[in-house]
Amino acid sequence: MENKLTEQEIIRRQKAEDLKNLGLDPYGSRFDRTHNTETFKKAFSNYTKEELHEQENPEIVKLAGRIMTKRIKGKAGFAHIQDQYGRVQLYVRQDVVGDQQYDLFDKGDLGDIVGVYGTAMITNTGELSIRVTNYIHLVKALRPLPEKFHGLTDIEERYRRRYVDLIMNDESKETLILRSKIISSMRNYLNNLGYLEVETPILHPILGGANAKPFITHHNTLDMPFYLRIAPELYLKRLIVGGFDCVYEIGRLFRNEGMDVKHNPEFTTIELYLAYSDLEGMMDLSEDLISSIAMEAIHTTTVTYGDKEIHLEKGWRRVSMVDLIKEQTGIDFLEITDFEEAKKLALSHHLKVEPHLYGVGHIINLFFEAYCEEKLVQPTFVYNYPIEVSPLTKKVKDDDRFTQRFELFIDGREYANAYTELNDPIDQKERFENQLKEKALGNVEATEMDTDFVEALEYGMPPTGGIGIGIDRLVMLITNSSSIRDVLLFPHMKNRTK
């Protein structure tokens, strides 16, 4: 059932009809601007009040925006209009714009969009403003904006109606603009190094590239099931086989899992691959990339996140997973090779061992997640992940229980995942087969056999380093945002409850 209109909404609809009766389109048409609020202020902020007042042929500016404040006193009034870049004050006089235009100004509501012609001036209070010579109604807002000082107080409504949040909340707007700048900075950094940006399929016929629950769909013409991609990895590595030296892709991934302040069903990552590199190369690259982005975006590598100060300047700690566990628990998993012994240790530490966890490496990972992750506040590369949880990674040369993989942790959260990529097709096939065993034992996140990818490796893939970085979390860190929803333009939400 349609909601009943409020008194304000009824009045605004009548005003839209009144505009039509005057021969004006309530929803406007093209308006060519010479300035926005930012370029207007840059152009005129160095002038004094007297200099602007005494100009013989002042420049006519054309600017448009949404009315955010308005006050009228008799035959003159002030208003602030807002665009993407900020606000600027208008000074409107009836004897300058004429009766009809002044009446439009007088009857305009907060939220309406207008265009003006005018000249720069500075008011008696010292505010750079536009002396309006021509006032043009562009768009009638049929709904009132939230109260000035309260905005959208319901946080969920802010996310649902992001468009209103962006109008009323400068902090939200700045965060989301900064997100765009961070992604541009990332692109520029890699493009300058010679990386090629590519696009790979979002619909995947085989579940692979990571361990996660997928979204499943169906293609009618092919009569085939498809997964929304959980990672672009296997396609990107095919490009390395094909002869590209360094590639990256920025795009959305989809995982049909839980939602919280760190997780959204679709999220943005960058994955990149560099031929003839390895794990150490990815450490160096990611460290330099992230510190460079911070400098470009916020002009410092010291970031305040919540109540913590995070230092992103280069020189991050590098430590193996088993060494971290030993630091926290005293247990040395380099000495433990028997699964039953490892399982008993896990149970004695109140860790749950699911049926599909069959190897010592699974137990090591359980201990790491339980005892180490949240203690990693400053940027830390944790390397030498167990082979059981790393199906696409080269083994460590001296100990094939572990792989040449790292994850980057900051303030207890994973920000990046990197490998010396597995390029042995026989080993890769065995890893896929082990994943199938896990799936049979109940691990719904296990990957599937990708025969074509194994075949690609049989043509030869150079030694390669690869990394994936979570862009949403990186933006959260740099903008000091506590929830992933704060850095997504349109996060997924439950339906409104009545």
pTM of the entire structure? 0.90
All structural domains of the chain, each given as residue ranges with its CATH number in brackets, are 7-145 (2.40.50.140), 167-316+378-487 (3.30.930.10)
Burial class (CB in 10 A: 0-12, 13-18, 19+), 422: buried
Q: What are the pLDDT digits (tens) for 436-474?
A: 888 888 877 777 889 999 999 999 999 999 999 999 999
DSSP line for 116-128: EEEEEEE-TT--E
Q: What is the pLDDT of residue 168?
A: 93
SS3 305: strand
Q: What is the pLDDT of residue 1?
A: 43
Q: What is the pLDDT of residue 498?
A: 55
Radius of gyration of the chain (CA): 29
Integer Cα distance of 466 and 289 in angstroms: 14
Q: Mean pLDDT, the chain, as a whole number?
A: 94
Q: What are the pLDDT digits (tens) for 236-276?
A: 999 999 999 999 999 999 999 989 998 999 999 999 999 99
Contact 448, 436 (CB under 8 A): yes
Q: What is the pLDDT of residue 446?
A: 77
Q: What is the pLDDT of residue 448?
A: 81
Q: What are the pLDDT digits (tens) for 304-332?
A: 999 999 999 999 999 999 999 999 999 99
Low-confidence residues in the chain, pLDDT < 50? 1, 149
Q: What is the pLDDT of residue 254?
A: 96
Integer Cα distance of 406 and 414 in angstroms: 10
